[in-house]
């Protein structure tokens, strides 16, 4: 049985490793300077070369040529290729999570390397180790013998304890861009003497979403199918043609209920995955949001030229507010769809909800300049009143003195009656309604206000005292 493309074209040297320039330059310089770290963490999404990089490091450390790059011909390199190297131990942490597995490693590190110069422990999916296993590894990882190197590979670095991370050098492997994946797939297919359609290859590259292994696996499947046609590939993975998705979006946002029902029914007959349909809709929505905000930021490889033309016309006819308000709904329903007993029916109902919800959004015109540009206290009060935030509005009118307001920033003095939760509530409400980050700065020492000349005159005129609510904002 022949090897898969991902295994057959797996890099064996840093020169063959695609992308990851910072990682390559750092480690190659470390090898030249004889300063190889004894603890390394490689993290990133699946299929971008974490385990491959770990094996390249092990190969360089144990190559008999001693030239800071593997010769690929010595006994050590050949043993690595066959997976039989005695000093390179790969551990799948997903199936060896217990502290006993770590004890076996700790017991073996004291012995010198047998076949090469270094004993290399590659712990794949390291985040799956138990807390006890991590704790057992701490001391050995902090002060390992000079002949031992630990390499931890993980897709979720946040689950690895900080005590482990602080003892290692961390390298983030970046996802591949669509063009890089396309170029590599074209190279592989030419090496395999397989005819292909470039548009179909670009489709595979987009579907891989940054993972080279996913792209090569899809190539294997397309080779077995015998076609690299774009439509065939999309049918192969259960994805819809982007023009069909654009038709569905147009129907939803124009309120054409019967057409929405017909389109979703036709998609269900194609045996597509309804979750993938929502993902495709979200991808196009994201493209349109970027296009509406800054046309120079959109990706030329996410959609074809024909699809981009259709998407631009549709985006130009609609407000950015519509896409921003529909996005959370799509995100939530994507999760609900995964557990729905009737996913296609759920997708159809979601599309129908958007038909009517879009009309409600358009039926309530929103002044985008008012949302994003507050220049006065009165504008802020009117905005909160319009959005029925009566509690916040009343606190602003009664319990604070606002001294400064601008885009994304409010400065105020509180009264003793202001609730402690007011600041967080105001920030979350404004951020949600305006889609901006807000800073609310509360001044707890109002000496400059109390010593203001006008306040001094008022205090002399009213020696019995001035009620806080009588001090009104002046901005």
26 and 153 together in one domain = yes
202 and 306 together in one domain = no
In terms of C-beta distances under 8 Å and separation of at least 24 residues, what long-range contacts does 356-365 make, across chains too? 356/255, 357/326, 357/329, 358/252, 358/253, 358/255, 358/322, 358/326, 359/255, 361/321, 361/322, 361/325, 361/326, 362/319, 362/322
**345 to each of 241, 338, 360, how far by Cα in Å?**
20, 13, 23
78 and 133 together in one domain = yes
Domain extent for 321: 242-363
Mean of the pLDDT values across residues 80-86?
A: 86
DSSP annotation string for 102-148: HHHHHHHTTSPPSSSS-EEEEEETGGGS-HHHHHHHHHHHHS--TTE
Residue 133 located in a structural domain: yes
Residue 339 located in a structural domain: yes
Mean pLDDT over the full length of the chain: 82
457 and 318 together in one domain = no
Residue 27 located in a structural domain: yes
How big is the chain by its Cα radius of gyration, in Å? Answer: 30
CA distance linking residue 296 with residue 293, whole number of Å: 9
Residue 277: half-sphere exposure toward Cβ, Cα within 13 Å: 28
Report pLDDT digits (tens) over 227-242. 887 778 877 776 667 7
pLDDT of residue 268: 83
Report pLDDT digits (tens) over 419-453. 888 888 888 888 888 777 788 888 764 555 566 67
pLDDT of residue 40: 92
CATH assignment at residue 126: 3.40.50.300
CA distance linking residue 50 with residue 23, whole number of Å: 11
Tokens of 382: 């009117």
18 and 161 together in one domain = yes
376 and 282 together in one domain = no
Tally Cβ neighbours within 10 Å of residue 57: 24
Tokens of 470: 């009588």
104 and 190 together in one domain = no
**238 to each of 221, 331, 342, how far by Cα in Å?**
13, 20, 17
Mention every residue, 6+ apart, whose C-beta is less than 8 A from residue 142.
Answer: 167
Q: Bigger pLDDT: 435 or 213?
A: 213
pLDDT of residue 171: 92
CA distance linking residue 178 with residue 44, whole number of Å: 17
Helix or strand run (H / E) with residue 201: helix 198-208
Point out the domain boundary residue: 172, 187, 207. Answer: 172
pLDDT of residue 471: 54
Which of 104-108, 325-329, 454-458 comes out lowest in average pLDDT? 454-458
Residue 304 located in a structural domain: yes
Report pLDDT digits (tens) over 17-58. 888 888 888 988 888 888 888 899 999 989 888 999 999 999
199 and 154 together in one domain = no
pLDDT of residue 334: 87
Residue 40 located in a structural domain: yes
Residue at token pair 């008999």? 64
CA distance linking residue 239 with residue 162, whole number of Å: 40
Residue 475 located in a structural domain: no
Mean of the pLDDT values across residues 102-106?
A: 84
150 and 253 together in one domain = no
Mention every residue, 6+ apart, whose C-beta is less than 8 A from residue 412.
Answer: 400, 401, 402, 403, 440, 441, 442, 443
For β-strands 169-172 and 39-43, DSSP reports them as parallel
Residues 387, 390, 393, 394: what is their CA dihedral angle, to the nearest 10 degrees?
170
**254 to each of 125, 189, 258, 303, 324, how far by Cα in Å?**
47, 43, 11, 22, 17
CATH assignment at residue 233: 1.10.8.60
CA 22 to chain centre: 20
Point out the domain boundary residue: 363, 391, 422. Answer: 363
Residue 24 located in a structural domain: yes
> Quick check: 98 and 89 in contact, CB under 8 A?
no
CA distance linking residue 312 with residue 316, whole number of Å: 6
Q: Is the pLDDT of residue 360 over 60?
A: no
Q: How close are the terminal C-alpha atoms of the chain, in Å?
A: 77
Helix (H/G/I), strand (E/B), else coil: 153: strand
Structure pTM?
A: 0.66
Helix (H/G/I), strand (E/B), else coil: 151: strand
DSSP character for 2? P
Point out the domain boundary residue: 331, 346, 363. Answer: 363
CA distance linking residue 311 with residue 287, whole number of Å: 9
346 and 385 together in one domain = no
Domain count, the chain: 4
76 and 105 together in one domain = yes
355 and 412 together in one domain = no
> Quick check: 387 and 433 in contact, CB under 8 A?
yes
CA distance linking residue 317 with residue 211, whole number of Å: 35
Q: Is the pLDDT of residue 358 over 70?
A: no
Residue 21 located in a structural domain: yes
Mean of the pLDDT values across residues 311-324?
A: 83
pLDDT of residue 444: 63
């Amino acid at each position: 049985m022949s090897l898969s493309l991902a295994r057959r074209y797996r890099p064996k040297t840093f020169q063959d490793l695609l992308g990851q320039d910072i990682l390559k330059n750092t480690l190659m310089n470390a090898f030249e300077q004889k300063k190889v770290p004894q603890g390394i963490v490689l993290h990133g999404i699946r299929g971008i070369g974490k385990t491959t990089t770990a094996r390249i490091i092990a190969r360089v450390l144990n190559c008999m040529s001693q030239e800071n790059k593997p010769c690929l011909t010595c006994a050590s390199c050949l043993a690595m290729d066959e997976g039989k190297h005695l000093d390179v131990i790969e551990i799948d942490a997903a199936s060896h999570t217990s502290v006993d597995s770590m004890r076996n490693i700790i017991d073996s590190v004291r012995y010198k390397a047998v076949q090469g110069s270094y004993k290399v422990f590659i712990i794949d999916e390291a985040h799956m180790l138990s807390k006890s296993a991590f704790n057992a590894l701490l001391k050995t990882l902090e002060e390992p013998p000079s002949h031992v190197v630990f390499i931890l590979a993980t897709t979720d670095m946040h689950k690895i304890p900080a005590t482990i991370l602080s003892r290692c050098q961390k390298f983030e492997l970046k996802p591949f861009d669509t063009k890089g994946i396309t170029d590599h797939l074209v190279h592989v297919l030419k090496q395999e003497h397989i005819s292909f359609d470039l548009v179909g290859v670009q489709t595979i590259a987009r579907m891989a979403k940054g993972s080279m292994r996913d792209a090569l696996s899809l190539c294997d499947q397309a080779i077995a199918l015998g076609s690299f046609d774009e439509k065939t590939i999309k049918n192969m993975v259960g994805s819809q043609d982007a023009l069909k998705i654009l038709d569905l979006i147009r129907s939803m946002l124009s309120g054409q209920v019967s057409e929405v029902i017909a389109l979703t029914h036709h998609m269900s007959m194609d045996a597509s995955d309804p979750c993938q349909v929502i993902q495709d809709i979200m991808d196009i929505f994201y493209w349109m949001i970027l296009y509406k905000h800054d046309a120079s930021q959109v990706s030329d490889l996410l959609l074809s030229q024909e699809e981009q033309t259709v998407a631009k016309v549709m985006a130009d006819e609609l407000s950015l507010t519509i896409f921003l308000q529909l996005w959370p709904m799509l995100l939530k329903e994507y999760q609900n769809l995964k557990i729905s007993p009737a996913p296609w029916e759920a997708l159809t109902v979601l599309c129908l909800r958007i038909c009517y919800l879009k009309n409600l959004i358009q039926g309530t015109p929103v002044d985008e300049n008012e949302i994003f540009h507050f220049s006065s206290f009165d504008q802020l009060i009117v905005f909160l009143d319009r959005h029925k935030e009566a509690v916040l509005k009343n606190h602003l009118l009664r319990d604070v003195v606002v001294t400064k307001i601008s885009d994304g920033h409010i400065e105020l003095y509180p009264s003793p009656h202001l609730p402690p939760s007011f600041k967080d509530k105001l920030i979350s409400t404004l951020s949600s309604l305006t889609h901006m980050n807000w800073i609310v700065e509360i001044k707890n020492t109002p000496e400059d206000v109390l010593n203001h000349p006008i306040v001094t005159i008022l205090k002399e005129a009213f020696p019995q005292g001035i009620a806080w609510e009588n001090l009104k904002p002046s901005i």
